[in-house]
Amino acid sequence: MHTHQPFSLQRLAAAATLACGSLLTACGGGGSDTAPPSSTSLSQGDATADAANSTATGADTAAAMDTVIDTTASLAQITAAVASTSADRMQALSTDAHADASPVPPITNVTVNCGGGGTATLSITGGTALTEVNGQLDAGEHYTVSYAQCTGQAGYAQLNGSVEMDVVSADHTTSPATLAVNLSVTSLQLTWPSGSATLNGTAAVSRSVTTSNGSTTTTSHVTVPSATLATVFNSRTGSFTLSNLDATRTVSSVAGVAAASQYSGHHTLSGTANGRTFSMTVSTTGNVSYDATGALVSGAWTVVRPLATISTTLANGTVIITVDDGNNGTIDHTWTFPAATLNSAQG
């Protein structure tokens, strides 16, 4: 069972989304990597913005892939309900073992209503006549989905655009249940009240899901070799390339509602925003933790730019940021401030 995992929750409303988390300079911080060495000293505001946004880039990309999988799984259940009422399909399946069996109608371009509004058009191939309408993702199945203002349920981002998903493996009978898929997204626009991001790229996701006494733990390992992002947030636009994402995202849910999440991994980000260019690598040290609202709670991570290294530690409500201007191994700045300041710098 794949439980609902809100897409970054209130961080999105604060513009710390997949895309705005990627905006960096455009969202209010980060400076330019094209500046001459004499002007490489980062201000506290720029360093804080980079620290706040850098983790959101990877965490929200992983969450985006989770959203696609969960929404498609929900669509499979809706499609199964629709298909089960088809007289042609029921007749074909009931006579399938007989010589006079008629062909089972394929699941092709079936339009269904999304749970939270909008529609999706779904085609399923690669399975059997029975597995394609059993309401779950099965190994060998290929899903082609076109979203039109589709929201899976409360907390999901609204989806527009296209997704191709191949189910590599699936085991729904063991504990933990497991699932592995390959995704290809084309002009996939994810929209929240705070803005939108349009994603093109590929990803591989493997998951394990454990449920006990109403609590569910979903762990997703996500790899993204390369993806492009076009973003609109806070009346700002950006164009970015995210590459070499290798991350693990774990969500703890109770009764289908996320209670907390953790993220660990690394990625590379480059792009332009507000006429500035930048490139950086981002990596966590262990897990970065978020509460039920999606706010950062604890963790440590590092941003390496060509002209500076920013290290961030968050614990017990206090943030410590150090900056090595010039990447020469010397700490040039140290700032300490409340976690609320870091969270408010997102976006």
pLDDT digits (tens, 9 = 90+) for 224-236: 999 988 877 666 6
CA pair distance 96, 316, nearest whole angstrom: 63
Please name the residue that has the structure tokens 């999606």: 294
Overall residue count recorded for the chain in this entry? 347
Domain boundaries, the chain: 9-287
Confidence at residue 104, expressed as pLDDT on a 0 to 100 scale? 60
Q: Is 133 helix (H, G, I), strand (E, B) or coil?
A: helix
Give the mean pLDDT of the chain. Answer: 79
Confidence at residue 22, expressed as pLDDT on a 0 to 100 scale? 31
Confidence at residue 6, expressed as pLDDT on a 0 to 100 scale? 35
In the chain, what percentage of residues exceed pLDDT 90? Answer: 40
Mean pLDDT along residues 176-189: 95
Return the higher-pLDDT residue of 78 and 136. Answer: 136
Please name the residue that has the structure tokens 């085609």: 123
The answer to whether 30 touches 49, Cβ cutoff 8 Å, is yes
Q: Residue 159 pLDDT > 70, yes or no?
A: yes
Mean pLDDT along residues 300-311: 94
Query: pTM score, two decimals?
Result: 0.80
Confidence at residue 223, expressed as pLDDT on a 0 to 100 scale? 97
Q: Which long-range contacts (CB under 8 A, 24 or more apart) does 98-105 make?
A: 104/129
Q: Taking the C-alpha atoms of 191, 195, 201 and 202 in order, what is their torsion angle to the nearest 10 degrees?
A: -50
Q: Is 94 helix (H, G, I), strand (E, B) or coil?
A: helix
The answer to whether 158 touches 150, Cβ cutoff 8 Å, is yes
Nearest to 244 by CA among 212, 282, 217, 206: 282
CA pair distance 168, 219, nearest whole angstrom: 17
Least confident of 23-27, 114-118, 134-138: 23-27
pLDDT digits (tens, 9 = 90+) for 104-133: 667 888 888 887 889 999 999 998 878 888
Phi and psi at 120, nearest 5°, equal -145, 145
pLDDT digits (tens, 9 = 90+) for 240-283: 888 999 999 999 989 878 889 999 999 998 877 656 677 889 99
Phi and psi at 173, nearest 5°, equal -100, -15
Mean pLDDT along residues 78-83: 75
Least confident of 30-34, 129-133, 245-249, 332-336: 30-34
- The confidence band for 94, taking pLDDT boundaries of 50, 70 and 90, is low
For residue 203, give Cα distances in angstroms to 158, 165, 209, 282. Answer: 20, 10, 19, 18
Residue 317 burial (CB count, 10 A): 10
